[in-house]
Amino acid sequence: MLEISELRKRFGGGPGASEGKVALDGISFAVRPGEMFGFVGANGAGKTTTMRIVMGVLQADSGSVSWEDRPLAYDDRRRFGYMPEERGLYQKMRVGEQIEYFGRLHGLGQQAAKKATDDLLERLGLTERRGDAVQTLSLGNQQRVQLAVALVHDPEVLVLDEPFSGLDPIAVDALATALQERCRSGVPVIFSSHQLELVERLCDSVGIVAAGRMVATGTVADLRAAESNTLRVVVRDPAPGWADGLPGAVTATDGKHVLLADGERDDQEILRRAMKAGHVEHFGVERPTLTEIFKEAVT
């Protein structure tokens, strides 16, 4: 398990300095084996700084990063896969040569690097692009190459900063499938994204960060359940006055009555009254989307 605990970072001053910009103010979360963790927040919220500290690119003023219940070390990070916010590809190098090169940098032998490259090119739909220079590729295909570079050495953890940025739906699906395969093999995956619908679809857990602080964290289901307890009931052609005395408010449109009830209530009594009044088309608790939770958390 990867654990991030009480990370603090200030730019423009040393540890404990009062001046400068606070980038991180006690960020904490954990990512378990086989879990996909979505890290969301506005620009400048602290996502990239956190990832850079995890990967050793930056040093925290205080706090810790642990892997398998011990402090994260240089040798551990060599076994991680990292996709930085600023893409790090050699534009004039051919696709296949580039992926193999990074595999060798991570310690793979020549044959192992070639085999891993062949597998990734096929899985990411890049086989026909093997001999092309990176600079001739579309943005989506360059993103696929960048992901291949992060995956080539079969990493134990994946840390990806905005991997889906600017991609078309086909490229998004290709990258998402590759990440899901890694998760199923037990690899913890962290990725940041502004595409909240995608995060909600892919991630087991989510962390919402604002101004360097984690303002909400948990599974998507738990966050949605915690944010709302509104019962929504839709009844077609009900008898007049069917909801009299029930909590909540009723609106009527095109022969349908919609009851929205918050707070304390007897759901079974509401259901009984609704079924007696007419045809019940919907009965259930409304859950907010991750986008709605995000907006509420950061304002």
pLDDT at res. 15: 56
Give the number of domains in the chain: 2
Low-confidence residues in the chain, pLDDT < 70 = 13-19, 227-228
| Same-domain pairing of 239 and 182 | no
The CATH number that applies at residue 277 is 3.30.70
Are residues 108 and 159 located together in one domain of the fold?
yes
Q: CA distances (Å), 222 to each of 22, 88, 141, 299, in order? A: 29, 36, 35, 20
Last residue of a domain, one of 182, 207, 224: 224
pLDDT value of residue 298:
77
If asked whether residues 63 and 186 sit together in one domain, one would say: yes
Q: Are the C-beta atoms of residues 58 and 9 closer than 8 Å to each other?
A: yes
Asked if 217 and 232 sit in the same domain, the reply is: no
- Domain end among 204, 224, 244: 224
Same domain, 158 and 290: no
pLDDT, tens digit (0-9, with 9 covering 90-100), for 177-215: 989 999 999 999 999 998 898 998 999 999 999 999 999
For 178, phi and psi rounded to 5 degrees?
A: -60, -40
Q: Residue type at 282? A: H
Residue 80: what pLDDT? 94
Query: What is the structure's pLDDT at 171?
Result: 81
Do both 104 and 233 map to the same domain?
Answer: no
Q: Does 193 lie in the same domain as 52?
A: yes
- Statement to judge: residues 217 and 271 lie in one domain: no
Residue-number span of the structural domain to which 94 is assigned = 2-224
My answer on whether 202 and 249 are in the same domain is no
Q: Which amino acid is at 120?
A: L
Do residues 125 and 255 share a domain? Answer: no
Q: Do 73 and 120 belong together in one domain?
A: yes
> Among residues 191, 224, 257, which one ends one of the domains?
224
In this prediction, residue 18 carries a pLDDT of: 57
pLDDT at 56: 94
Domain shared by 66 and 134, yes or no: yes
Query: Cβ neighbours of residue 191 under 8 Å, at least 6 residues apart?
Result: 36, 37, 38, 39, 158, 159, 160, 161, 162, 163, 164, 179
Is 172 exposed, middle or buried, given 0-12, 13-18 or 19+ CB atoms closer than 10 A?
middle
